[in-house]
Structure 1
Amino acid sequence: MKNYFTLPILFILLLFNCSSSKTDVTLQTPQNIVFKIKPSKTDFRIKTADTPHYITYNPSINQGKLLLFLAGTYGVATKGPKNLFKTAIEQGYRVINLQYITNISVSRICSGETLTNNSSCAEEFRQKRIYGDNDFSLILDEPQDAIVNRLTKLLIYLSKNDKKGNWEFYLENGHPKWEQIAVSGQSQGGGMAAYIAKKQRVPRVIVFSGGWDYSTTDRKEIANWYYTSSVTPYNCWYGTYHVKEPTATTIEKTYIAMNIPENHVYGLDLAVPDGKKAHSNGVRNINYKNLWIKMLGKGN
């Protein structure tokens, strides 16, 4: 059964069991600090997708969990959904919108003869883009380009250059402390967040219209990786899609395959403004703020 979201609805904010040198640009607003840091500043080996990461938090709020956000195809971190990020900060999170290689999507590579010859194409694609530790040769990502390396090097950089920020809280033995890092993303990035949450135990995962990977060229079967077990408890998973986006049915099918609880899946149905896309409405439309709050829970 679809859990459609129509305003006005009064949401009750619940505490869920799962809750348990110089930067390139430093901006100061009356409340929130914003850093914009080029990936190459944190790791000189990074040459591709070197537009800045976007980092924001409020130093007056007790330090809580980190929200890692991953954009969709062609996404640029500095142009991310700022209202969603402000809401996350209000809920006690810090936010990193991580710049990674977004200009080639899974659907572009894993189709046609390629998919016919390798039904695990989508999984291998995501493994390389996130961890950079396999031999998938159809994308040119280098190991240093991997999402996890970019996040790790950014956290190390911040711990050295924003001493008051206590960024080492999100590191453990030089690696991300996933138990303190909620993961989220839109479209390609939503699929990346889901893939991470299956392999790392995170406090929360929020998938906004999170990809539509297939294992067959006729698109009758979604990718096998959706059915693999998750180390992140299922009650920590949330997923949204807009009922008007072309791949809504497939996205809903992936959420079912990933065992996201039925009452944690939201088929959004608010009107999409002229010139805008239903696919990105879930992260952009401020009228979903109450839903964002419900899915984020308390970060601190």
Structure 2
Amino acid sequence: MKHLLTCLLALSVGLNAAPTISKRASEIDPRAKEHPEIDFVFTDKKGKPQDLQNASVDPSVKSQGKLVIWLMGYSAPLFERLNSYGLHAIQPHYANKWFGLIPPARLNDGKTLGDIRLEASTGEDHSDLVSIPQPDGMMERSFQFVQWLAKEHPEGKWGQFITEDGKGLRWDKVIVSGASHGATTSARFAKHQKVDRVVCFCGPRDNYESWQSLPSATPGNRIFGFSHVLDGGWSGDHYCRSWEMMGLNQFGPIVDVDISAPPFQNTRRLITNADVKGDDKRAHSSVMPGGAAVKDKDGKYIHEAVWQYLFNHPVDQTGSPTPADSDCVKDQQKKPR
């Protein structure tokens, strides 16, 4: 029976994968609240929990002593790779369903989106349109989750990410990452809070916002981006605009990973033109491990080396500065819509 249970566990988490540890945010912190005004609730209409948080670490792999906070839905293929790199990983549940609250007149005013993202990630008052208290912001939800993990999963050594006074996370040990709107929030948060590294899949965007050019608490050499050229973020100049406004062109050119080998000229701006059958929606999500990612004829992901690079390349190794791209429209307010 014990052998059978072991086999079932291996099948449920995938080959060579560390078990996923899941816990509802509302069960960890009694201060956590629902915000039905933005459809941010703990259960859906059928009673299915919506505030489940996920974490994993592989104790058999030498630890880098870094924690990845993933700001999108849980991705087992991604977490398996992060764990194989020696990284801890969590996916917190935080109040991020605010898109429908923005009045049309303010949607593209250049400031509103960034302010809401910052409030959602910090739980601090940065926007007059939403009211997200500290216990429901990403920072506190992540801290409370890691505290719970340190107590309930001591073999994972999660306590190393908590400050000596026990009041927060060691952000110098944190990698913030996400895809699409999660990538954009990761980058916005990193402007405000210095972190070890930022990894943006298909992002950041917010193409009418100005926050990308704000002074940054996280140096630009610690920010990495990867996107597909068929993604609408390229046809709209969203990615090239954000990357240049954040100064990433100071650390190397835009590099096509399909015709370049690691370390990809030590750049921070990576792109792919991998075959997605012309599907721009698939292109958007193809840059991270999962069902949309591109595989070779043997069924293996073609971007394993890229993912390894994004999360592990030494931040002090950078490419040569490159001029801004004159074809990339920075002032999107003047661009025909």
Equivalence for 1:293? 308
Assess, with a 3 A threshold, how the Cα gap between structure 1 residues 245 and 142 changes in structure 2: closer, same or farther: same
Distance 2:169 2:129 in 1: 27
Q: Which one of the candidate residues 96, 115, 124 is aligned to 2:115? A: 124
Can you give the 5+ residue segments of structure 2 that lack an aligned partner in the other structure? Answer: 1-8, 35-40, 43-49, 254-266, 294-300, 315-337
After TM superposition, the score normalised by the length of structure 1 is 0.77
Paired residues of 2:118 and 2:126 also in contact (CA < 8 A): no
> Does 2:18 align with 1:32?
yes
> Does 2:269 align with 1:265?
yes
After TM superposition, the score normalised by the length of structure 2 is 0.69
Shift of residue 137, structure 1, vs aligned partner: 4.0
Shift of residue 282, structure 1, vs aligned partner: 0.8
Question: Match of 1:119, SS?
Answer: coil
Distance 1:179 1:246 in 2: 33
Distance 1:239 1:199 in 2: 18
Paired residues of 2:187 and 2:204 also in contact (CA < 8 A): no
Shift of residue 142, structure 1, vs aligned partner: 3.7
Distance 1:247 1:226 in 2: 15
In the TM superposition, structure 1's runs of 4+ consecutive aligned residues that sit over 6 Å from their partners are: none
Shift of residue 212, structure 1, vs aligned partner: 2.2
Percent of aligned positions that are identical: 21
Assess, with a 3 A threshold, how the Cα gap between structure 1 residues 273 and 169 changes in structure 2: closer, same or farther: farther
> Does 2:235 align with 1:253?
no
Shift of residue 273, structure 1, vs aligned partner: 5.8
Distance 2:60 2:278 in 1: 38
State which structure, 1 or 2, has the greater radius of gyration over its C-alpha atoms: 2
* 1:228 partner letter: L
Moved more, 187-196 or 135-144: 135-144
Is the strand fraction higher in 1 or 2? Answer: 1
> Looking at both structures, which has the greater relative contact order when contacts are Cα pairs under 8 Å and sequence separation is at least 6?
1
Moved more, 282-291 or 185-194: 282-291
Q: Which one of the candidate residues 141, 161, 181 is aligned to 1:150? A: 141
Distance 1:272 1:51 in 2: 33
Cα deviation, 1:58-91, whole Å, max 9, x if unaligned, reads 01122321111111xxxx33xx2x2222222121
Distance 2:204 2:220 in 1: 19
Shift of residue 274, structure 1, vs aligned partner: 8.3
Shift of residue 288, structure 1, vs aligned partner: 1.4
Equivalence for 2:59? 59
Q: Which one of the candidate residues 281, 286, 299 is aligned to 1:281? A: 286
Assess, with a 3 A threshold, how the Cα gap between structure 1 residues 201 and 135 changes in structure 2: closer, same or farther: closer
Cα deviation, 1:7-34, whole Å, max 9, x if unaligned, reads xxxxxxxxxxxxxxxxxxxx66565131
* 1:282 partner letter: V
Equivalence for 1:197? 190
Equivalence for 1:240? 226
Assess, with a 3 A threshold, how the Cα gap between structure 1 residues 110 and 92 changes in structure 2: closer, same or farther: same
Equivalence for 2:159? 168
Equivalence for 1:94? 88
Equivalence for 1:42? 28
Distance 1:246 1:159 in 2: 41
